[in-house]
Structure 1
Amino acid sequence: MVVRRRRRRTVAKRRTTRRRTKKKSIQFELEKHIAREIWAVLYLALSALTWLSLNQQLGVLGEIWVSALHPIFGIGMGAVPVALLLMGGSVFFSKKISWGLARLTGILLLAVAILGFVHMTVPPDELLEFAQRGEGGGYIGFVSSFIFTAAFGKTGAYVLLTATFLIGVLLTLQVSLGAIIRFITPSPKLVKKAVQVATPEFNIVQAAEDIDKELTIVKPGYIAEQESADDAPAMAIKEVSAAEIEKRLQKEKADKTDESNVEGEIVMVDEKPEAKSGKWEYPGLELLDAGKEAFELNPEDLKSKAALIKAKLEQFGISVIMHEVHVGPTVVQYTLKPADGVKLSKITSLKNDLALALAAPAVRIEAPIPGKSLVGIEIPNTSRAIVHMREIMETKSYKVNKSPLKLPLGRDVSGNSVIVDLVKMPHLLIAGATGAGKSVGMNSFLISLLYNNSPKELRMIMIDPKRVELTSYNGLPHLLTPVITDPEKAATALRWAVAEMNRRYKVCADAGARNINDYNKGRRKDDRMSKIVIVIDELADLMMQAQKEVEASICRIAQMA
């Protein structure tokens, strides 16, 4: 009998991979700054508890704490709360300071050295008794002093304690010994700076001592020019008396056409007037007022102000060397050389501080002086010197200038005469506030032109709408027309000037000459072309009254001249 066994069907169990989940462990993590602040709080709390224990304000626990620490530190027990306070404060407020093993070791060595020094003063036979009573350096001082003294003697103990102290300082501060010595030893500059801050008078005295070595007071230019004026070539000026000048002017007036009789167009006088005397006689300098004595300032006052400038700049950390002093008629210029590395902006920003220190209404700083590696500080003079026309015309710089149209501007900050040539401009506009000296300057220019040119060499057109400044020049033989006061006639005169310039351009072109000087070379005096100078006073008023008629002519003259 055959028995069939049924095969049991076994269902393969699917293996399922179960993911093993890691058990999450609870971790207590703190950020670094939180941990630092916790340590800082612990240090500060321990400092406060120690201080309260020393003052017997903490009860039983405080007494136990004090009784445990007192024998250890001895009289140094009072420094324990202070040390804990410093540690807590440094940890709390500074992220750069970390109280690791090295710093803690340094503090321990400092305690050993300091308490050892204290215990070295205790009698040798009572070292232990003092420590037990909490006196001297306590047990720490007893151990360090006893071991060092027994092994190396008293002198050797002092040497080892000193070395321990220095090592403790280096470990605690984490800086080199040389840096510590440089920090605690004041440099001569710091000592000088401290004395300057404490006593400003010292700064001024020190600067005054340097001024005698550094400062050079330059002789004003006008004094030097007057001393050498005799060596300069004399001007071709023939002196005549004032009576003769007045007589000739009256005679010329009678020959001129009066402006009141002219209506409509301007009557231009002949460009080449015949001088009845045959040869023009130039006026003499004695007609001008002579200047007073040379204006000079006290050298001691100049040195004292230079010392004030130097001292004030050094108060702000700017080191300078005073160079020269230039005395001008209205201002005094002090020149100085800044030390290397000093920014000029630091000096210019102290303008108001210098004005306050010098009691000056204003201070001008020229940084740098053109063409020099110096800085100029200009201070107004307490009393201004008057610059006379005759003084300028007697100087060497005026005499050696051969231009017939030279104009004296005055004196610069160094007192030197400033002479300009109208030919090189050839246009000049004088502007300034009321009372600035515009009219004085214009009259000085006209006087210089009259002194250096005859009527054949120079002709002038004067326009004065206000009838104030130029009307006194009526009757001059140099005038092409009497002084013009009517705006319409002024426009007519300017149109004539434009036409005359066009004619002269054509004449010069036909002769192959580039300018008047080239045209006049090699010609007889009667055939030479005279220069024409147009003088307008109060141009703004003239433009307001006849702008359209005047503006076009002025622009054309400016372009062609």
Structure 2
Amino acid sequence: MLRQYLETQADQVEAVLLAHHAPGRVTGGTVGPRLIRFALDPAPSTRFTAVRGLAEDLAVALKVSSLRIDRTDQGIILEFPNPEPRPVTFTGLWPEVEPLPPATALLGLTDAGAPLLARLSSPEVAHVLVAGTTGSGKTALLRTMATSLALANAPETLRLLCLDPKGRAFRALTAAPHLTRPPVVEIAEAIEALQSLVRLMEMRDQKGEQQPRIVVFIDEMADLIIQDERRNGHVSVETLLTRLAQRGREAGIHLIAATQRPSAAVLSGVLRANFPLRLVGKVVSAEDARLASGRAQTDAHLLNGRGDFIAVGGSALPIRFQVAYLGEREAQEELAALKTKSTN
């Protein structure tokens, strides 16, 4: 059944290209849990821009909700949703990746079927900006990353600080023995916690210390900054976050912050520039995709939502992946069991 579907879709792609005088052949591809990728071999006379310009026509012909066209070292790649998606779960993927290296978070599964990890101690990662609209899967991604860090690292080597202005994102983590304090909801406590971290960073700088590593998870970073501005405090949340982003890695302090839209009106360019790794879910427009990823033509506005993300970092090509989903109750059970072990 799937084979017949793939052959029919490949024929449709070739027919559309031929009808628009941009001939090419589908030479192969892969079937991932959420995505199908076709490798396209264009005729010598067919330009990439011509193929890319036919994205909407191809999506209509294939009867899919979205279609991305990209140029890689393998040639031209067409990506569209798998009509029979398979779930990617944390519990299913975790046995394949443990034990993880120190300070390394599990993200999910790439469209090539490989687990995707983020090693915070690497200069190419250090701090992570997570962006996407409501329903994109930001909170689920934060929960997966935090739980994997807690399961793979002892509290003596890694600590977690969670800032949660809406009070919903990190409820599952309350049982984790790695927490420096319960998830912070109030803006005054968030400022105090960030001030304490800056002082710790400066002290560690002087002593050349990095341990234990401290990972700061922030849900709705823009909301936290806006609350601070309304409060008219003497110390700016954005100023504190910028200092931590600029100098935190050498002191073993890492930021993992989520926001719906990292616009210049809320987040300064200096702060955004200090997040080397961007994890971008579905956004509203191509301009939002550029702001979130820090580069043009990532097509993040064409993602499917519900955990469909791209990882963008350095000069490497974006990596599309599906978040390894972990429900709130499942996370609570995993971390409660971990807490029981640590107290025995």
Measured against the shorter chain, the TM-score band is 0.5 to 0.7
Q: Which amino acid aligns with 1:553?
A: L
Measured at CA, do residues 532 and 342 of structure 1 come closer, stay the same or move farther in structure 2, by a change above 3 Å? same
Secondary structure of the 1:483 match is: coil
Give the superposition deviation at 1:310. Answer: 1.6
Aligned position for 1:532? 214
Q: How does 1:404-483 map to 2 (within 5 A)?
A: 404-424=102-122, 425-483=125-183
Q: How does 1:214-229 map to 2 (within 5 A)?
A: none
Structure with higher Rg: it is 1
Q: For the residues of structure 2 that align with 1:309 and 1:497, how far apart are their CA atoms?
A: 54
Q: Is the CA contact (8 Å cut-off) linking 2:147 and 2:173 kept in structure 1? A: no
Q: Which amino acid aligns with 1:478?
A: H
Measured at CA, do residues 380 and 472 of structure 1 come closer, stay the same or move farther in structure 2, by a change above 3 Å? closer
Q: Which of 243, 249, 257 is equivalent to 1:556?
A: 243
Aligned position for 1:389? 90
Identity of aligned residues (%): 28
Q: For the residues of structure 2 that align with 1:399 and 1:478, how far apart are their CA atoms?
A: 18
Say how many residue pairs are matched.
241
Q: For the residues of structure 2 that align with 1:414 and 1:460, how far apart are their CA atoms?
A: 31
Correspondence 1:544 to 2:226:
yes
User: 1:206-259: CA deviations, max 9, x gaps?
Assistant: xxxxxxxxxxxxxxxxxxxxxxxxxxxxxxxxxxxxxxxxxxxxxxxxxxxxxx
Give the superposition deviation at 1:422. Answer: 1.9
Correspondence 1:376 to 2:58:
no
Q: Is the CA contact (8 Å cut-off) linking 2:165 and 2:220 kept in structure 1? A: yes
Secondary structure of the 2:128 match is: coil
Q: Which of 352, 356, 362 is equivalent to 2:60?
A: 356
Q: Which amino acid aligns with 2:130?
A: I
Q: For the residues of structure 1 that align with 2:68 and 2:175, how far apart are their CA atoms?
A: 45
Correspondence 1:330 to 2:34:
yes
User: 1:80-133: CA deviations, max 9, x gaps?
Assistant: xxxxxxxxxxxxxxxxxxxxxxxxxxxxxxxxxxxxxxxxxxxxxxxxxxxxxx
Q: For the residues of structure 2 that align with 1:375 and 1:408, how far apart are their CA atoms?
A: 29
Q: For the residues of structure 1 that align with 2:223 and 2:19, how far apart are their CA atoms?
A: 52
Measured at CA, do residues 320 and 363 of structure 1 come closer, stay the same or move farther in structure 2, by a change above 3 Å? same
Aligned position for 2:197? 497
Aligned position for 1:298? 2
Q: Is the CA contact (8 Å cut-off) linking 2:98 and 2:152 kept in structure 1? A: no
- TM-score of the superposition, structure 2-length normalised? 0.66
Q: For the residues of structure 2 that align with 1:549 and 1:377, how far apart are their CA atoms?
A: 45
Give the superposition deviation at 1:301. Answer: 1.1
- TM-score of the superposition, structure 1-length normalised? 0.41
Q: How does 1:122-521 map to 2 (within 5 A)?
A: 298-366=2-70, 368-369=71-72, 371-372=73-74, 374-395=75-96, 398-399=97-98, 402-424=100-122, 425-508=125-208, 516=210
Give the superposition deviation at 1:465. Answer: 1.9
Measured at CA, do residues 472 and 392 of structure 1 come closer, stay the same or move farther in structure 2, by a change above 3 Å? closer
Q: Is the CA contact (8 Å cut-off) linking 1:475 and 1:482 kept in structure 2? A: no
Indicate the RMSD between aligned Cα atoms, in angstroms: 1.9
Give the superposition deviation at 1:387. Answer: 0.9
Aligned position for 1:36? none
Give the superposition deviation at 1:441. Answer: 0.3
Give the superposition deviation at 1:317. Answer: 3.0
Q: Is the CA contact (8 Å cut-off) linking 2:127 and 2:245 kept in structure 1? A: yes
Measured at CA, do residues 542 and 317 of structure 1 come closer, stay the same or move farther in structure 2, by a change above 3 Å? closer
Give the superposition deviation at 1:346. Answer: 1.8
Q: Which amino acid aligns with 1:422?
A: L
Q: For the residues of structure 2 that align with 1:416 and 1:507, how far apart are their CA atoms?
A: 39
Give the superposition deviation at 1:451. Answer: 1.0
Q: For the residues of structure 1 that align with 2:239 and 2:57, how far apart are their CA atoms?
A: 50
Q: Which amino acid aligns with 2:85?
A: R
Give the superposition deviation at 1:385. Answer: 2.3
Give the superposition deviation at 1:496. Answer: 0.5
Measured at CA, do residues 357 and 471 of structure 1 come closer, stay the same or move farther in structure 2, by a change above 3 Å? closer
Secondary structure of the 2:15 match is: helix
Q: How does 1:57-76 map to 2 (within 5 A)?
A: none
Measured at CA, do residues 466 and 356 of structure 1 come closer, stay the same or move farther in structure 2, by a change above 3 Å? closer
Measured at CA, do residues 318 and 551 of structure 1 come closer, stay the same or move farther in structure 2, by a change above 3 Å? closer
Q: For the residues of structure 2 that align with 1:361 and 1:484, how far apart are their CA atoms?
A: 39
Structure 2: give runs of 5+ residues left out of the alignment: 230-234, 249-344
Give the superposition deviation at 1:399. Answer: 4.2
Measured at CA, do residues 313 and 470 of structure 1 come closer, stay the same or move farther in structure 2, by a change above 3 Å? same
Q: For the residues of structure 2 that align with 1:306 and 1:492, how far apart are their CA atoms?
A: 58
From the two aligned structures, give the one with the greater strand fraction: 2
Q: For the residues of structure 1 that align with 2:172 and 2:34, how far apart are their CA atoms?
A: 30
Secondary structure of the 1:394 match is: helix
User: 1:36-92: CA deviations, max 9, x gaps?
Assistant: xxxxxxxxxxxxxxxxxxxxxxxxxxxxxxxxxxxxxxxxxxxxxxxxxxxxxxxxx
Q: Is the CA contact (8 Å cut-off) linking 2:150 and 2:176 kept in structure 1? A: no
Q: Is the CA contact (8 Å cut-off) linking 1:407 and 1:420 kept in structure 2? A: yes
Give the superposition deviation at 1:413. Answer: 2.4
Aligned position for 1:23? none
Q: Which has the higher contact order (CA 8 A, sep 6+)?
A: 2
Q: For the residues of structure 2 that align with 1:544 and 1:493, how far apart are their CA atoms?
A: 17
Q: Is the CA contact (8 Å cut-off) linking 1:439 and 1:469 kept in structure 2? A: yes
User: 1:184-226: CA deviations, max 9, x gaps?
Assistant: xxxxxxxxxxxxxxxxxxxxxxxxxxxxxxxxxxxxxxxxxxx
Q: For the residues of structure 1 that align with 2:247 and 2:146, how far apart are their CA atoms?
A: 23
Q: For the residues of structure 2 that align with 1:433 and 1:505, how far apart are their CA atoms?
A: 37
Q: For the residues of structure 1 that align with 2:182 and 2:115, how far apart are their CA atoms?
A: 33
